[in-house]
């Protein structure tokens, strides 16, 4: 029972950065913008988040620094793709390269330093319940925040007028513009929200997952978050299933190596990314009614007046 509890706790922790980053990217893509720079924004958020927490001694300050860093980096993407109508795919890839280099510069002085990780919730009587106590009532605040964020995004997209407008912009920006909606402004806010979530996801890694910063600690999680949005068919509820599924693959391959499974460790380490490719292929083959992506996803919009 203790082993099962430990594995579930590890899966929840490994899935949280994926869920946070994918939730932000879902809003960005629902607005019709394809931002491939999630990995770059995450690693900058990790560097700034750890730096903020180390200098201030506060996890909350560190999380805010990660959020601001991701949002500011996303503004560069917004300026290029929305203001100058540059190709979104090329700009997103360039943003990732910029973020990796920038994080190395920012985090150079923090390599080797440690902080006290984010505290875990403890409710007397509830947290001590065997198996489910620590899982439901003993996690850190980031995990509860990630789930609350998914619920808030679902409510925003399907229960509010603003969410309807955002989806309309992503499906047909020409018609939305003709109705008088500020397409570029809406997309800029969506891009910034996605950047803020990616920065928070990156900050989670050194603030709660591992209490130190190392260059490249995101280890491709930004790319998995991009794949999760497709896996979820651009629906918030399915993001939770996808994030925990990929988190489980990540953790189970580590335990499989510890159990001495007769498979090369390099192949086991590649399983999360291999699973990402396989899932995307299966989803593509299973769709019979065409793509469920926003119709204007990745299309540059230049207002005529």
Model confidence pLDDT, tens digit, residues 185-232:
999 999 999 999 999 999 999 999 999 999 999 988 999 999 899 888
> Contact 14/250 with Cβ under 8 angstroms?
yes
pLDDT at 6: 84
Query: Is the pLDDT score of 90 beyond 80?
Result: yes
User: Residue 300, Cα to own-chain centre: how many angstroms?
Assistant: 24
What is the residue range of 153's domain?
Answer: 2-125+141-286
Structural domain includes residue 295: no
How does residue 248 score in pLDDT terms, banded at 50, 70 and 90?
Answer: confident
The pLDDT assigned to 257 comes to 64
* Domain containing residue 97: CATH number: 1.10.3470
For residue 303, being part of any structural domain is answered with: no
Two structure tokens written together for 229: 């949005």
Distance from C-alpha of 268 to C-alpha of 263, rounded to nearest angstrom: 7
Q: What is the CA radius of gyration of the chain?
A: 20
Question: DSSP string covering 55-99, please?
Answer: HHS-HHHHHHHHHHHHHHHHHHHHIIIIIS---HHHHHHHHHHHH
Q: Is the pLDDT of residue 264 over 60?
A: yes
- Lowest mean per-residue pLDDT among 37-41, 241-245, 255-259: 255-259
The per-residue pLDDT for 76 is: 95
Q: What CA–CA distance (Å, rounded) separates 207 from 202?
A: 9
Any idea of the CA torsion for 169, 171, 177, 182, to the nearest 10 degrees?
10
Q: Is residue 213 assigned to a domain?
A: yes
pLDDT at 260: 67
Distance separating alpha carbons of residues 227 and 25, to the nearest angstrom:
10
Nearest-angstrom CA–CA distance, 41 and 206: 15
Domain count, the chain: 1
pLDDT tier at 286, thresholds 50, 70, 90: low
The per-residue pLDDT for 147 is 95
Which region among 23-32, 67-76, 189-198, 259-268 has the lowest average model confidence (pLDDT)?
259-268
Q: Name the residue with tokens 């619920």.
A: 151
Indicate whether 302 belongs to any domain: no
Kindly state whether residue 164 falls inside one of the protein's structural domains. yes
pLDDT number for residue 18: 95
The Cα-based distances of 21 to 45, 84, 132, 209, 254 in angstroms read 11, 25, 26, 15, 23
**pLDDT at 233 exceeding the cut of 70:** yes
- pLDDT score of 305 more than 60: no
Residue showing tokens 């409710």 = 123
The answer to whether residue 85 is domain-embedded is: yes
Which region among 8-12, 118-122, 131-135, 255-259 has the lowest average model confidence (pLDDT)? 255-259
Please state, in angstroms and rounded to a whole number, the distance separating the CA atoms of residues 84 and 149.
Answer: 31
Across the chain, mean pLDDT equals 89
* 3 state SS of 260: coil
| pLDDT class of 261 with cuts at 50, 70, 90 | low
Contact 251, 7 (CB under 8 A): yes
Residue 30 has pLDDT above 70, yes or no: yes
How far is residue 142's CA from residue 209's CA, in Å, rounded to a whole number? 10
Burial-class residue 285 by CB neighbours within 10 Å (0-12, 13-18, 19+): exposed
Mean pLDDT in residue range 105-117: 91
Choice between 99 and 122, residue whose per-residue pLDDT is larger: 99
| Residue whose token pair is 């988040």 | 49
Query: What is the pLDDT, as a whole number, of residue 57?
Result: 92
pTM attached to this predicted model: 0.91
59 assigned to some structural domain: yes
């Amino acid at each position: 029972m203790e082993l099962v509890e430990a594995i579930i706790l590890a899966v929840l922790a490994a899935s949280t950065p994926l869920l946070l980053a994918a939730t932000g990217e879902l809003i960005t893509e629902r607005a019709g913008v394809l931002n491939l720079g999630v990995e770059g924004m995450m690693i900058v958020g990790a560097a700034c988040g750890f730096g903020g927490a180390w200098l201030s001694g506060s996890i909350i300050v560190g999380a805010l620094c990660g959020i601001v860093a991701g949002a500011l980096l996303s503004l560069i993407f917004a300026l290029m793709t929305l203001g100058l109508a540059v190709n979104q795919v090329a700009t997103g890839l360039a943003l990732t390269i910029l973020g990796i280099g920038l994080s190395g510069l920012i985090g150079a002085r923090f390599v080797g330093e440690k902080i006290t990780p984010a505290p875990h919730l403890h409710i007397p009587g509830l947290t001590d319940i065997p198996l489910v106590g620590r899982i439901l009532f003993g996690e850190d605040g980031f995990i509860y925040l990630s789930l609350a964020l998914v619920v808030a995004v679902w409510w925003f997209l399907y229960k509010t007028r603003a969410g309807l407008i955002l989806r309309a912009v992503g499906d047909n920006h020409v018609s939305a513009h003709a109705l008088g909606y500020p397409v570029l402004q809406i997309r800029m806010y969506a891009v910034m929200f996605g950047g803020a979530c990616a920065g928070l996801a990156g900050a989670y890694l050194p603030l709660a997952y591992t209490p130190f910063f190392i260059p490249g600690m995101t280890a491709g999680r930004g790319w998995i978050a991009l794949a999760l949005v497709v896996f979820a068919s651009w629906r918030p509820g399915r993001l939770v299933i996808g994030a925990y599924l990929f988190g489980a693959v990540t953790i189970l391959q580590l335990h499989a190596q510890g159990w001495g499974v007769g498979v090369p460790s390099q192949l086991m380490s590649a399983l999360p990314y291999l699973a990402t490719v396989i899932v995307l292929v299966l989803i593509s083959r299973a769709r019979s009614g065409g793509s469920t992506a926003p119709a204007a996803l990745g299309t540059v919009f230049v207002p005529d007046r």
